[in-house]
């Protein structure tokens, strides 16, 4: 039996662990398949407060873990396979164990959809990015390629114009899926141009991105396209598969929470990207992880009062 089980070990999860550990709740953190979260895929992080010279993503994740453990959080490198929130205490199964929990904080994050092309994985963090807000600063006066045609792709392309000398948007169709207002803004921006009916089939570079292989989906013709960076925006998938049917999700699979990080099940809270399809930043994840922890502490105190 645990007072608090935290599912997921990114910035939101470790923040929730830190706060609940300092409240002497001895939280258990089940790290999941991506310990540390997406920040471990980022080389330099310069937009998280407290690091004037920046820091490596993997180092920040490690610091989060050590700080939570210092106050008594227990981190298990295992993954949840099944939950039952229909009864209390809640039941949680992992590959290795089974637990009962009086409260649960879900911080499993979301995963950017990949192109699944050669070079993408190897060059992630070295020119391949899924976040312009995070990495745009590193592409000052450089040319970059944005892949996608929805609101996120166009929003991030506009962010990149603050830094890059030129932003090319490659889209597999000849029409965009983004909102009309956003399309109008982008088309009026001189730094942005479009490469229509085109997909990326390979990303090339030796240690950093140098070019992308583009394919015209109508003619089948391929060409090498020089670029300093490839920003991929073909959607995110929240990591909520194991929670389907247990708590309320929106139409895209994100966990629905109120302003106090409460889900549809009393005693179950959520923080970070798993309930945030908009910002997806370390700072916002930390904030919601903190709020979820404080709400879990209140829930447990009320539970104790009731006997």
Rg (CA), the chain: 21
Cα 300 to Cα 90: distance, rounded to the nearest angstrom: 13
Q: Is there a catalytic annotation at residue 131? A: yes
CA angle 241, 39, 22 (to 5 degrees): 85
Sign of the C-alpha dihedral computed for residues 22, 72, 102 and 292 taken in this order? positive
User: Would you list the DSSP string of 124-190?
Assistant: BTTTEES-HHHHGGGGTT-EEEEE--SHHHHHHHHHHTTT-SEEEEE-SSSS--S-HHHHHHHHT-T
Instruction: Report residue 64 as tokens.
Output: 């989060």
Catalytic residue among 3, 135, 155, 276: 135
Sign of the C-alpha dihedral computed for residues 255, 256, 260 and 263 taken in this order? negative
Catalytic residue among 3, 131, 155, 276: 131
Catalytic residue among 134, 155, 273, 276: 134
The single residue listed with the structure tokens 């745009």 is 136
DSSP 174: S
Q: Is there a catalytic annotation at residue 290? A: no
Q: Which residues are catalytic?
A: 131, 134-135
């Amino acid at each position: 039996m645990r007072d608090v089980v935290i599912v997921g070990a990114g910035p939101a999860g470790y923040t929730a662990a830190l706060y609940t550990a300092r409240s002497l709740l001895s939280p258990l953190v089940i790290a999941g398949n991506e310990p540390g979260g997406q920040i471990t895929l980022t080389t330099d992080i310069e937009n998280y407060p407290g690091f004037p010279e920046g820091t490596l993503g993997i180092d920040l994740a490690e610091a989060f873990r050590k700080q939570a453990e210092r106050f008594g959080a227990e981190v298990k490198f295992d993954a949840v396979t099944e939950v039952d929130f229909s009864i209390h205490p809640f039941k949680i199964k992992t590959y290795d164990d089974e637990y009962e929990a009086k409260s649960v904080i879900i911080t499993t994050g979301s995963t950017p959809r990949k192109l699944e092309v050669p070079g993408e994985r190897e060059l992630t963090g070295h020119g391949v990015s899924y976040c312009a807000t995070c990495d745009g600063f590193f592409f000052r006066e450089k040319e970059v390629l944005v892949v996608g045609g929805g609101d996120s792709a166009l929003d991030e392309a506009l962010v990149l114009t603050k830094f890059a000398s030129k932003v090319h948007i490659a889209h597999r169709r000849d029409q965009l899926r983004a909102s009309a207002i956003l399309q109008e803004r982008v088309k009026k921006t001189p730094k942005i141009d479009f490469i229509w009916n085109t997909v990326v089939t390979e990303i090339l570079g030796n240690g950093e991105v140098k070019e992308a292989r583009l394919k015209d989906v109508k003619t089948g013709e391929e060409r090498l396209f020089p670029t300093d960076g490839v920003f991929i925006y073909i959607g995110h998938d929240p990591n909520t598969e194991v929670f389907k049917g247990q708590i309320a999700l929106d139409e895209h699979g994100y966990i629905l929470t109120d302003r106090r990080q409460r889900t549809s099940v009393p005693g179950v809270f959520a923080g970070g990207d798993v309930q945030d399809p908009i910002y997806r930043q370390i700072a916002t994840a930390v904030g919601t992880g903190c709020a979820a922890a404080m709400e879990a502490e209140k829930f447990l105190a009320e539970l104790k009062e009731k006997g």
